[in-house]
Amino acid sequence: MFSYYQESKSSPIMAPMTKMAPQQIFVIRNGEKNQINIEDLVVGDIIEVKSGDSIPVADICIIESSNFKVDNSSFTGEIEPQRRSAVFTDVNPLETKNLAFRSTIATEALTRCAMLCNRTDLKQDSENLARPVLQREYNGDSSEVALLKYVELSIGNVSEFRQTNRKVCEIPFNVTNKYQLSIHEIHTNNESEDKSQSYLLVMKGAPDSIINRCSTIYIDGTDVEMNDYWRNQFNSAYLEIGKLGERVLGFCDLHLSSSEYPYGYSFNMNECNFPVNNLRFLGLMSMTDPPKVAVPSTIMNCRSAGIKVVMVTGDHPIIAKSIARATNIISEDSETIEDIAERLDTFPELVNPRNAKAFVIHGNDLEGKSSAEIDALLRDYTEIVFARTSPQQKAIIVEGEYNIINKEISRSILCLACQRQGAIVTMIGGSISDSLAFRQADVRVFMGAISLAYEKAEADIMKRRPRDLQHDRLVNKRLLLIAYGLIGLLQVAAGFLAYFFAITQNGFLPSHLFDLRKLLASDDVNNLQNSYDQEWVRSS
């Protein structure tokens, strides 16, 4: 009753605002899908409702759905989302599964996982809470902030949901495991949820790492065995999203039975006394993290200066290649082995590697390569991307012997290899995971400590060729000749000319200067005259 009273009072207030910004929805008419205002809907229209949408104008009958749930709290008081499908289950309209009511909101398990498996917290000051969602400030990683804002906009009441389902254990994301895990007390009134399950384990991370930990996949409201078909479907979807250069995260969960994990169970994140495999895969979420506008031109300036730019990242090779193309690290006309294979409709193994100008290599493949092979790779290809590198794998890319003692050496490998070829290596990074490669590199640039501004006199610095480490010296014969034989003589002559000019202005010609110091210092001379016949008298 109270909810109805509130809605009846607020509806007249919100009506003028909805006219200013009318809601739109996708509708299928005559076999074509178009986006129209909800006021233009008529009985018989087929509409498309996705997660976060409010059911428009009137009640709807569901004819096709996939993992579809709605928030019926305003009608039934049930806090948890209710499952809906195309199957008629009850003569009571409030109970049947194939009806969704006006003003209810579509939700799904994927967004629940995104809400719970998230370390970002909203700043709780009143000024921040009063702002629109997209302008609010959060404490946390930018990717997690983006996820939380998306869920807040599409579902709402994120803080309340997270407080209701309290976190009891957490494993933060790290580059070794490539996942973040948390366990929550689960409180549900949803009849589709098993009441014997008191804890919910949620996990998110690199999609290829997440999918390898899953034995089932959530399809149309049921758990299906993860077989080769669904793995191929996953790989196809991941590949298509990765080609767009978007950052992709995978999500999975697992209901923990109360018989094995009763309420109050002591979870230990160090010993992992809970399952981290045989989970249920929920889906993928992607977000756009575009490079700065000036990056492509900066890369071209580096090339014109003779600087070879090598990209070393922890992203998936497909995503890394897409980002490299967007930033000109891989030129528009350059092809990788995979690109040539796709163009010729053949296998990458059958392509001659010498026909490719660019090369993308997985960090794990470095472990099977010798020093000579890595040197040849850096020598033969002008545009190189190292993907899925662990933080410790960066240093061998910078100098010396390729001697991997354990798996934790990847970005340093490249540093070592470049230095073996006589290159001066600059390592650019922004996190503690780059520390090994930083220590190996000749020049270390931490992104938080530099500025994009420069003086006008330095504007063309990137167009100058770098010096040869083996032959060029900071001070060489040419510099000495110019400094002391040309510029130095001109500077000395200019200095003497300025001195003689200033003295002449005071009446002393250059020819009078040779003995002038003795006359000025002599006690016997008290009436020294200059060229203007002015007397210079010693003061008493």
pLDDT at 17 (0 to 100): 36
Q: Fill in the amino acid letter for 215.
A: S
Domain with CATH 3.40.50.1000 in the chain: 295-463
d(CA 412, CA 345): 36
pLDDT at 419 over 80: no
d(CA 196, CA 182): 19
pLDDT at 467 (0 to 100): 66
Q: Which CATH number is 295-463 given?
A: 3.40.50.1000
DSSP letter for 395, please. B
Q: How far apart are the first and last CA of the chain?
A: 109
d(CA 152, CA 52): 9
C-alpha distances out from residue 74 to 2, 78, 103, 129, 478, Å: 10, 8, 9, 24, 84
pLDDT at 227 (0 to 100): 92
pLDDT at 514 (0 to 100): 78
In this prediction, residue 212 has a pLDDT band, given cuts at 50, 70 and 90, of very high
Residue-wise pLDDT tens digits, 1-23: 444 444 454 445 344 434 434 46
Percent of the chain with pLDDT over 90: 14
Which burial class, exposed, middle or buried, applies to 230 when counting CB atoms under 10 A from its CB (0-12, 13-18, 19+)?
A: middle
d(CA 415, CA 426): 9
Q: Which CATH number is 2-107 given?
A: 2.70.150.10
Tokens of 109: 């398990």
Choice between 494 and 387, residue whose per-residue pLDDT is larger: 494
pTM of the complete model beyond 0.85? no
Whether domain 109-287 has CATH 3.30.450.40: no
In this prediction, residue 225 has a pLDDT band, given cuts at 50, 70 and 90, of very high
d(CA 284, CA 209): 12
Choice between 15 and 316, residue whose per-residue pLDDT is larger: 316
List b or e across 101-127, with b for residues whose CB sees 16 or more CB atoms inside 10 angstroms: beebbbbbbbbbbbbbbbebebeeeee
Q: Which residue has the tokens 């070879």?
A: 308
- 234 near 204, Cβ under 8 Å? no
d(CA 206, CA 109): 19
Q: How many residues does the chain have?
A: 540
Q: What is the DSSP string of 279-303?
A: EEEEEEEEE--PPPTTHHHHHHHHH
Domain with CATH 2.70.150.10 in the chain: 2-107
Average pLDDT (293-315) is 85
The phi, psi pair for 244, rounded to 5°, reads -80, -5
For 220-357, strand residue ranges (E) read 222-225, 247-257, 279-287, 310-312
Domain with CATH 3.40.1110.10 in the chain: 109-287
Helix (H), strand (E), coil (C) string for 198-224:
EEEEEEEECHHHHHCCEEEEEECCEEE
Residue-wise pLDDT tens digits, 70-114: 655 554 555 455 666 655 666 555 555 555 544 444 446 888 899
Q: What is the DSSP string of 53-80?
A: PBPPSS-EE-S--SSEEEE-HHHH---S
